[in-house]
Structure 1
Amino acid sequence: MTKLKRGVVLTRTGDQSVLTGTGRNAAYYRLNHIGTRMLDLMLEGVEDDAIAQRLATEFEVSPSKVRSDLDQIVDSLVAEKLIQRKLS
């Protein structure tokens, strides 16, 4: 399960989004339309492998490419303290 960390604001601008952290560990992170779609699915509780399969179909790319991009986004958002992950 993925959720936004306390104090993080998610702002949508068209098909893109911006996550803004507050407080001592303030951070700013912009996601394009594919990153926004990944985040939406994570916040809905969809498992990472299922996200990769779904987006591979939607955007006509390989699941391994989507999974690699997803892993990078997750690592960055966790490092910036913008999301919290609890893997089942």
Structure 2
Amino acid sequence: MYHWGMRTTIDLPDAVHRRAKELAQARGESLSSVVADLAVKGLAAAGEPMRINRDPVSGLPTVNLGYRLTSEEVARELDDE
């Protein structure tokens, strides 16, 4: 379980949000913890060094995975869990 001090807002496709909530409930964990765990695993699987920057317009943190990831790809991977 991850406990970090940084809070952020992300937009998730409805199917991804629903699947992540189901997974959180099944694990007895918070949605934040499950999303953090999935992000850590996804970043590790990408095989690219993770770079965290700040968006120049919004000031929000951004993570560079080394390639673009579509919401459809995220939903498909979550469905495979």
TM-score under structure 1 length normalisation: 0.36
TM-score under structure 2 length normalisation: 0.38
Q: More strand by proportion, 1 or 2?
A: 1
Structure possessing the higher relative contact order (Cα contacts under 8 Å, 6 or more residues apart): 1
